[in-house]
Structure 1
Amino acid sequence: MSGCLPDSGAGRFGSPGGVRYPQGGGLTDAERAGRERVRLQAVTGFEASEKNREIAASLRVSERSVERWRRQWREEGLAGLASKGSPGRPRLSDRQIAGLERELERGPLAHGWAEQRWTLARVKTMIGRLFHVSYTVEGTWRLLRRHGWSWQRPARRAIERDDDAVELWRREVWPRVRAPRR
């Protein structure tokens, strides 16, 4: 994570085997809206007195989900099928995220680490120290990725490297010492 430059975004994995919804969470607003559209499509089946099995097959969802949606629709109407929004609130505020980014820009040396490379464990520790909020290493990665940071691998180069001397050696010394080809 050295440098951690903003990224253009990350793709999502498709779902194998015709299953519409992958297990997990962390849906974007667009994905939540897509799921809500599917639930609202089920309402036309409810109104036409279709069986749960038929609705589930046409929408490529489980019968259990259709049962749950039908019950919510009966009890609360369309409001029962509306998206409830993000399941959790962000653990860091926008102001804290901006502070985190400033601290990441300062680098690991400014925070007491011996080398100039950010790791997820270091970022996790720094978040805990600065904001008294605990993240897992995986949660730290999701947080950073959500805010446009990407994983970067540092180029390993010797500090003492002299590119001119290397090029001179390649042109003049190497042809004399290499073994002739047979």
Structure 2
Amino acid sequence: MRAAELFERRRPSSEVARAVGMHPESVRRWKRLWEQGGVQALRRRPATGRPPELDDAQVEAVRAALEQGALAHGFEADLWTLERVGVVVERVTGVRLARASVWRLLTGRLGWSLQRPGRQAVERDEFEIARWVAQPVHRAWKRAGRTRGVPVARVPVSRQPAQVGSGQPVLEVRRPCTAIPPYVPPLP
């Protein structure tokens, strides 16, 4: 308690405020408390307000129930929503919590965070994706610098053919290359 030591040395409030990095008005309030009750008056007091709905034992029971997974509690998917957690809390403890209280329970007391499942197309076929990536046509298109569905053909700016390493500027023209046929997926 650096502020209390400085008060005992009869330092001015402005100097104490600079020393502890606080606003002078806060330091003046502390000094009044210190004058009335000494160092004990400056000690932290427990937080005021409404006590939590669930005690520590109930929170641990909820944690154990949630770690079993949503399927174990009769839900059709193994995802937790605030409503589902609220239902489990009510089943386990008999206490009905509002959505905001369920959120505070999850993030504050249980230390959980929001996790959203990644989006994936229902039609996604991993086998076809792997086959497409493995095809030599795919690699050729990638080497050709494919942009907007069409490989890029590089042609010289001048009418004279560009010599390799001549330093002549090259203009990119987006037109289909005839050397690489477009990929057409096979019909099932």
TM score, norm. by length of structure 2: 0.56
Matched, 1:46 2:46: no
Name the SS for the 2:38 alignment partner: helix
Of 65, 82, 102, the match for 1:103:
65
Would the aligned equivalents of 2:86 and 2:96 in 1 still touch at CA under 8 Å?
Answer: no
Matched, 1:165 2:128: yes
Higher-strand-fraction structure: 2
Of 61, 66, 69, the match for 2:30:
69
* Percent of pairs with identical residues: 34
Task: Return 5+ residue gaps in structure 1 as ranges.
Answer: 1-39
Would the aligned equivalents of 1:46 and 1:70 in 2 still touch at CA under 8 Å?
Answer: yes
Matched, 1:150 2:113: yes
Task: Return 5+ residue gaps in structure 2 as ranges.
Answer: 142-148, 154-188
Closer/same/farther in 2, CA of residues 173 and 140 from structure 1, 3 Å limit: farther
Structure 1 distance, partners of 2:62, 2:121, is: 30
Task: Determine which structure has more spread, i.e. the larger CA radius of gyration.
Answer: 2
- Alignment-mate amino acid for residue 115 of structure 2: Q
Would the aligned equivalents of 1:52 and 1:66 in 2 still touch at CA under 8 Å?
Answer: yes
Q: What is the 5 A alignment of 1:21-100?
A: 40-87=1-48, 89-100=51-62
Structure 1 distance, partners of 2:2, 2:53, is: 34
Structure 2 distance, partners of 1:173, 1:166, is: 14
Q: Which structure carries more relative contact order (alpha carbon 8 Å, separation 6+)?
A: 1
Would the aligned equivalents of 2:61 and 2:92 in 1 still touch at CA under 8 Å?
Answer: no
Q: What is the 5 A alignment of 1:102-141?
A: 102-109=64-71, 115-120=77-82, 122-124=84-86, 126-127=88-89, 130-131=92-93, 132-135=95-98, 137=100, 140-141=102-103
Alignment-derived partner of residue 146 in structure 2: none
Higher-helix-fraction structure: 1
- Alignment-mate amino acid for residue 164 of structure 1: F
Would the aligned equivalents of 1:52 and 1:63 in 2 still touch at CA under 8 Å?
Answer: yes
Closer/same/farther in 2, CA of residues 67 and 124 from structure 1, 3 Å limit: farther
Structure 2 distance, partners of 1:110, 1:63, is: 57
Structure 1 distance, partners of 2:98, 2:23, is: 33
Aligned residues: 142
Structure 1 distance, partners of 2:57, 2:122, is: 37
Structure 2 distance, partners of 1:143, 1:163, is: 38
Name the SS for the 1:45 alignment partner: helix
Structure 1 distance, partners of 2:46, 2:83, is: 30
Closer/same/farther in 2, CA of residues 82 and 108 from structure 1, 3 Å limit: same
Would the aligned equivalents of 1:72 and 1:80 in 2 still touch at CA under 8 Å?
Answer: yes
- Alignment-mate amino acid for residue 93 of structure 1: D
Structure 2 distance, partners of 1:157, 1:90, is: 40
